[in-house]
């Protein structure tokens, strides 16, 4: 008989799916690319592409330096997660901001938001959103004023004809500033501070099919990556097909934004515009690409729904009563902090478990 | 189209059945030396009743039953006892083994055959199943007669035969079902009679249409199951077919159900109808690491290396050798270990087939949570285990993990989730024992 052969021991299972973390991260990168193309179309190479590239480069460099300093394998800098953070950070700054702003934000996101907590998987909040919050707190003027209008880069004399900004708002802006202006959400929010009839007229103007169409296609003021709704949905569809995205968080979040936008988002109770709430600001980008950040969102199924609804409610509250017109990123950051607690209290019913009802 | 029955959760590994599913079972003679383990079943090893130099005949008892959860062990050959020793085994580090030099394999039945088993009482049938040393052939090797002897007050109303065979690569049950349908059917009738159950059923995944057809023709109720891992796990099979859930910490008999593997049924038929103890079993030898995968009917005590040789020998690349399938099988240090009653397959995986052994950080993607067939939260139990927070792991239901491996399979970071959870189980059980003491 043949000599007995010996083999390596290991723990079961000995079989694995081809899915890998790296593949998940690069799938997210791929899913974000259509919106980048849209951003370049709307805001130009200098306004959109350059900030994104610089932001990604800064994020990867920061990750590399941190890993090197901590004596860890630096190959993890290219696992895709830093690239995702870099893209998302850039998508959350206004087009045309100084180049150093997204770079600074990315470095902060990686160093403070991610590596300080222990790197991939250990961070409490979405690093890109923390980076954005840092920029908002430190450079509020750069981050909220001077929104480039779509197509302004191709035709500097073009006005707001296609941007979805109501005429009343446009005409109120000084001539020299005609290439920049308010976002639809700013216009909407400001409508509550002016004469009652005028405000109602502004909101009426914002709730037209023409405006909705412009909002869907991204022809409005907004952050680099948040305006091209259709292209963001295309990316999300890709993630669904690749089974990277699960429907609960996006559905709960956007559903809550629509519902609470209708209930709380108008001058009176139940007078808000649900569709407008979903299509404006960063709701779609946030709902599909930031609230769904795996590391910082709940792992339980019920937890994901609670998370989405909570973030949607906070978004609307901030939009209506907060200091900024946009509440998406803060709402997700706040819910990120609640994630461990949500997970703890939403353990699923085990197979065969009979729950005692108090 | 029949409705496919299934359970919530689970995963869908590559089936890899095509390597061996068309290969008819080949009966191979016992090798020159068999090494028969005295602990082929779950529970206490049987007590040796032979000594070196003794002549033994095929079917003779060489180990006697040792307690309630134990079985007698029989010699698979006629020959001479060459010694009793402690040797490595596929399912535990080592155990007592009777080494027998084979002379022949012939001879009549060890017990009186009962072709008229319908006229026997349930007690007689159960006693025979015990004396024949029949244990579960699906992998866990629990003594079959214990499952047929529910404590008083527990009424069994459902008997399910498990023909799911959801582990990738394994095709032994599949071949058994189509080649020896009659044996399985007879075993099923015996088990039903022993339990006083009407209308037993067999559950088969729908990737085995020929087996489903064969049982249909034999007049057996077939429940067609969706191909999904771990469809063949007892609790999942029961959930899929009956909709009932085995209570946490309980057994199938608590909800009136007994599950038996189809291989066990065939062994029961041989024991009762033919008077033949449990001496042989069908073993699938497969994986990219063997040259000619197939299914073999081998005597217990046959070394894995002999079966590998029957399967054309090893290929150029063998990263791991497993007893059982790739999801729950046990990695073997050596191919000198012998086939036992519970050896459903021998799988040699190439380095490309085998799961990676480097893990990354948990990104909390929740794939394990969505896939866990017990509806646990594997990533959180594992995190608590890594931080040695045993009480927290216990609170999350760590003890309910059956180590099916679905969570580790789907994990994109290749984390050793099963390993962490099993460690937590050990620590929780130890602390509970020390509290009781």
Reported as a single tens digit per residue, the pLDDT across B347-356 is 999 999 999 9
Report helix angle A127-138 to A81-91, nearest 10: 40
Report helix angle A100-108 to A127-138, nearest 10: 130
Q: CB distance B354–A15 less than 8 Å?
A: yes
Q: CB distance B374–A351 less than 8 Å?
A: yes
SS3 at position A253? helix
Per DSSP, helices labelled H in B206-303 are 209-217, 234-242, 262-272
Which residue is listed with tokens 């009652």? A196
Q: Is B382 on the interface with A (CB under 8 A)?
A: no
Q: How far apart are CA B359 and CA B128, in angstroms?
A: 49
Nearest chain A CA: its distance from B52 CA (Å):
23
Q: What is the mean pLDDT of chain A?
A: 89
pLDDT (0 to 100) of residue A105 = 98
Phi–psi pair at A318, nearest 5 degrees: -65, -40
Whether the pLDDT of residue A217 is over 50: the answer is: yes
Q: How far apart are CA B266 and CA B177, in angstroms?
A: 9
Q: CB distance A2–B320 less than 8 Å?
A: no
pLDDT confidence band for A181 (50 / 70 / 90): low
Phi–psi pair at B337, nearest 5 degrees: -70, 150
Nearest chain B CA: its distance from A202 CA (Å):
43
Q: Which two tokens stand for residue B350?
A: 């190439």
Cross-strand bridge partners of residue B64: B47
Q: What is the mean pLDDT of residues A217-222?
A: 89
pLDDT (0 to 100) of residue A267 = 87
Q: Which one of B12, B243, B252, B369 makes the best mutation probe of the A interface by having the most chain A beta carbons within 10 Å?
A: B369
Cross-strand bridge partners of residue B338: B303
SS3 at position A76? helix
Q: How far apart are CA B21 and CA B328, in angstroms?
A: 20
Closest CA to B19 of B387, B374, B292: B292
- Residue B230: is the preceding peptide bond cis (ω within 30°)? yes
Q: Which two tokens stand for residue B135?
A: 């244990």
Partner residue opposite A299 with nearest CB, options B327, B329, B379: B379
Q: What is the pLDDT of residues B25-51, one digit of tens each?
A: 999 999 999 999 999 999 999 999 999
SS3 at position B205? strand
Q: What is the mean pLDDT of residues A293-305?
A: 97
Closest CA to B143 of B264, B61, B232: B264
Cβ atoms within 10 Å of A46's Cβ, excluding its own: 14
Closest CA to B111 of B96, B99, B127, B93: B127
Partner residue opposite B331 with nearest CB, options A10, A246, A301: A10
SS3 at position B346? strand
Contact status, residue A280 vs residue A188, Cβ threshold 8 Å: yes
Contact status, residue A179 vs residue A156, Cβ threshold 8 Å: yes
Which residue is listed with tokens 């646990």? B376
Q: CB distance A299–B419 less than 8 Å?
A: no
Q: What is the mean pLDDT of residues B412-430?
A: 97
Q: How far apart are CA A296 and CA A291, in angstroms?
A: 8
| Residues shown for chain B | 437
Closest CA to B262 of B282, B244, B279, B277: B282
Whether the pLDDT of residue A260 is over 60: the answer is: yes
Partner residue opposite A352 with nearest CB, options B235, B327, B334: B235
pLDDT (0 to 100) of residue A164 = 40
Q: Is B412 on the interface with A (CB under 8 A)?
A: yes
Q: What is the mean pLDDT of residues B275-291?
A: 97
Cβ atoms within 10 Å of B249's Cβ, excluding its own: 10
From chain A, the residues in CB contact with B326 under 8 A are: 12-15
Q: Indicate the Cα dihedral angle A10, A11, A17, A20, nearest 10°.
A: -80
pLDDT confidence band for A168 (50 / 70 / 90): very low
Closest CA to B74 of B50, B96, B93, B107: B50
Q: Is A300 on the interface with B (CB under 8 A)?
A: yes
- Residue A12: is the preceding peptide bond cis (ω within 30°)? no
pLDDT (0 to 100) of residue B2 = 58
Q: What is the pLDDT of residues B120-142, one digit of tens each?
A: 999 999 999 999 999 999 888 99
* % of chain B residues with pLDDT over 90: 95
Q: How far apart are CA B277 and CA B9, in angstroms?
A: 39
Q: Is B320 on the interface with A (CB under 8 A)?
A: yes
Higher pLDDT among residues B12 and A161, named by residue: B12
Cβ atoms within 10 Å of B411's Cβ, excluding its own: 30
SS3 at position B290? strand
| Residues shown for chain A | 358
Residues 6+ apart with CB under 8 A from A213: none
From chain A residues 170-209, the ones with a CB under 8 A of any chain B CB are none
From chain B, the residues in CB contact with A19 under 8 A are: 367, 410, 412
Contacts across the A-B interface (CB distance below 8 Å)? 181
From chain A residues 229-248, the ones with a CB under 8 A of any chain B CB are 246
Cross-strand bridge partners of residue B85: B97
Strand B94-104 with B78-88, pairing: antiparallel
Q: CB distance A351–B373 less than 8 Å?
A: yes
Cross-strand bridge partners of residue B257: B158
Q: What is the mean pLDDT of residues B86-94?
A: 92
Strand B47-48 with B55-56, pairing: unpaired
Strand B280-286 with B257-261, pairing: unpaired
Which residue is listed with tokens 């008989």? A1
Q: What is the mean pLDDT of residues A55-82?
A: 96
Q: Which one of B412, B417, B419 makes the best mutation probe of the A interface by having the most chain A beta carbons within 10 Å?
A: B412
Q: CB distance A121–B361 less than 8 Å?
A: yes
pLDDT (0 to 100) of residue A156 = 52
Higher pLDDT among residues A203 and B11, named by residue: B11
Closest CA to A267 of A198, A220, A171, A212: A198
Nearest chain A CA: its distance from B353 CA (Å):
7
pLDDT (0 to 100) of residue A155 = 62
DSSP H or E stretch at residue B345: strand B345-349
Strand B345-349 with B320-323, pairing: antiparallel
pLDDT (0 to 100) of residue A175 = 38
Cross-strand bridge partners of residue B203: B162, B223
From chain B, the residues in CB contact with A10 under 8 A are: 320, 331, 354-355, 357
DSSP H or E stretch at residue B88: strand B78-88
DSSP per-residue letters across A103-169: HHHHHHIIIIIIGGGTSTTT-SS-HHHHHHHHHHHH-HHHHHS-EEPTTTTT-TT--STTT---HHH
Q: Is A8 on the interface with B (CB under 8 A)?
A: yes
Whether the pLDDT of residue A252 is over 60: the answer is: yes
Q: How far apart are CA B313 and CA B306, in angstroms?
A: 9
What ipTM was estimated for this complex? Answer: 0.90
From chain A residues 35-94, the ones with a CB under 8 A of any chain B CB are 79, 81
Q: How far apart are CA B436 and CA B429, in angstroms?
A: 11
Q: CB distance A14–B419 less than 8 Å?
A: no
pLDDT (0 to 100) of residue A174 = 38
Closest CA to B299 of B57, B25, B71, B30: B30
From chain A residues 333-352, the ones with a CB under 8 A of any chain B CB are 343, 347-352
pLDDT (0 to 100) of residue A354 = 87
From chain A, the residues in CB contact with B245 under 8 A are: 351-352
From chain A, the residues in CB contact with B414 under 8 A are: 16, 20
* % of chain A residues with pLDDT over 70: 91
Contact status, residue B248 vs residue B267, Cβ threshold 8 Å: no
Burial of A329 (0-12, 13-18, 19+ CB in 10 A): buried
Q: How far apart are CA B268 and CA B274, in angstroms?
A: 9
Q: How far apart are CA A216 and CA A38, in angstroms?
A: 11
SS3 at position B397? coil
Partner residue opposite A350 with nearest CB, options B376, B410, B412: B376
Q: Which one of A7, A13, A340 makes the best mutation probe of the B interface by having the most chain B beta carbons within 10 Å?
A: A13
SS3 at position A260? helix
Closest CA to A294 of A19, A25, A103: A25
Q: CB distance B248–A354 less than 8 Å?
A: yes
Higher pLDDT among residues A149 and A42, named by residue: A42
Partner residue opposite B375 with nearest CB, options A12, A81, A350: A350
Whether the pLDDT of residue A157 is over 90: the answer is: no
């Amino acid at each position: 008989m043949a000599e007995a052969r010996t083999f390596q021991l290991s723990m079961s299972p000995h079989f694995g799916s081809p899915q890998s973390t790296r593949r998940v991260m690069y799938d997210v990168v791929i899913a974000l690319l259509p919106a980048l193309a849209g951003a370049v179309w709307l805001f130009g190479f200098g306004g959109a592409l350059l900030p994104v590239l610089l932001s990604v480069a800064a994020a990867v460099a920061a990750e590399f330096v941190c890993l090197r300093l901590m004596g860890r394998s630096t190959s993890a800098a290219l696992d895709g997660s830093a690239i995702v953070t870099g893209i998302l950070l850039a998508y959350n700054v206004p087009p045309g901001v100084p180049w150093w702003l997204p770079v600074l934000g990315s470095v902060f996101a990686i160093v403070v938001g991610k590596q300080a907590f222990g790197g991939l998987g250990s961070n409490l909040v979405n690093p890109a959103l923390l980076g954005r919050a840092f920029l908002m707190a430190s450079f509020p003027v750069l981050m909220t004023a001077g929104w480039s209008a779509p197509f302004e880069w191709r035709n500097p004399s073009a006005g707001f004809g296609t941007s979805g900004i109501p005429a009343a708002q446009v005409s109120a802006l000084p001539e020299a500033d005609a290439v920049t202006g308010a976002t639809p959400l700013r216009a909407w929010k400001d409508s509550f501070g002016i004469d009652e009839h005028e405000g109602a007229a502004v909101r009426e103007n914002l709730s037209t099919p023409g405006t909705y169409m412009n909002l869907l296609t991204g022809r409005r003021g907004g952050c680099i990556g948040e305006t091209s709704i259709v292209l963001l949905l295309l990316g999300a569809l890709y993630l669904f097909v690749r089974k990277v995205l699960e429907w609960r968080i996006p559905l709960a979040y956007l559903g809550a934004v629509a519902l609470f936008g209708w209930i709380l988002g108008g001058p009176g109770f139940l007078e808000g515009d649900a569709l407008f709430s979903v299509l404006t600001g960063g709701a779609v980008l946030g709902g599909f690409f930031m609230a769904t950040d795996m590391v910082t969102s709940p792992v339980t199924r019920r937890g994901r729904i609670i998370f989405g609804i909570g973030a949607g409610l906070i978004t609307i509250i901030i939009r209506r009563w907060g200091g900024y017109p946009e509440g998406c990123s803060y709402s997700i950051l706040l819910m990120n902090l609640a994630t461990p607690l949500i997970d703890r209290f939403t353990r699923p019913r085990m197979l065969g478990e009979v729950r005692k009802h108090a | 189209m029949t409705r496919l029955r299934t359970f919530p959760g689970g995963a869908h590994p590559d089936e890899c059945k095509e390597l061996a599913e068309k290969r008819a079972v080949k009966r191979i003679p016992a090798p020159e030396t068999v090494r028969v383990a005295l602990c082929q079943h779950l529970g206490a090893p049987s007590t040796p009743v032979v000594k070196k130099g003794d002549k033994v005949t095929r079917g003779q008892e060489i180990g006697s039953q040792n307690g309630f959860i134990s079985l007698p062990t029989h010699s698979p050959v006629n020959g001479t006892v060459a010694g009793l020793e402690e040797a490595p085994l596929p399912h535990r580090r080592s155990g007592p083994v009777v080494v027998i030099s084979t002379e022949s394999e012939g001879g009549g039945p060890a017990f009186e055959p009962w072709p008229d088993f319908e006229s026997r009482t349930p007690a007689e049938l159960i006693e025979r199943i015990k004396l024949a040393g029949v244990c579960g052939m699906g992998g866990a090797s629990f003594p079959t007669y214990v499952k047929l002897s529910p404590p008083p007050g527990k009424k069994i109303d459902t008997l399910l035969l498990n023909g799911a065979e959801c582990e990738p690569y394994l095709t032994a049950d599949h071949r058994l079902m189509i080649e020896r349908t009659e044996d399985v059917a007879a075993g099923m009738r015996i088990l039903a009679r022993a339990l006083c159950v009407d209308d037993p059923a067999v559950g088969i995944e729908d990737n085995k249409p020929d087996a489903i057809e064969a049982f249909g023709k034999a007049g057996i109720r077939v429940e067609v199951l969706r191909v999904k891992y771990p469809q063949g796990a007892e609790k999942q099979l029961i959930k899929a077919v009956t909709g009932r859930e085995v209570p946490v910490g309980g057994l199938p008999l608590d909800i009136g159900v007994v599950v038996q593997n189809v291989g066990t049924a065939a062994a029961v038929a041989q024991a009762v109808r033919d008077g033949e103890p449990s001496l042989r079993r069908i073993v699938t030898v497969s994986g990219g690491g063997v040259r000619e995968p197939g299914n073999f009917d081998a005597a217990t005590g046959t070394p894995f290396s002999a079966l590998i040789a029957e399967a054309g020998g090893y290929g150029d690349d063998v990263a791991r050798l497993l007893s059982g399938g790739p999801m729950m099988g046990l990695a073997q240090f050596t191919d000198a270990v012998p086939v036992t009653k519970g050896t459903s397959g021998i799988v040699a995986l190439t380095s490309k087939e085998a799961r990676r052994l480097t893990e990354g950080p948990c990104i909390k993607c929740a794939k394990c949570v969505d896939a866990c067939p017990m509806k646990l939260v594997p990533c959180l139990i594992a995190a608590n285990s890594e931080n040695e927070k045993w009480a927290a792991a216990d609170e999350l239901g760590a003890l309910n993990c059956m180590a099916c491996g679905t969570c580790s399979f789907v994990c994109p970071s290749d984390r050793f989730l099963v390993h962490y959870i099993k460690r937590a189980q050990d620590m929780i059980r130890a602390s509970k024992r020390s509290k009781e003491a």
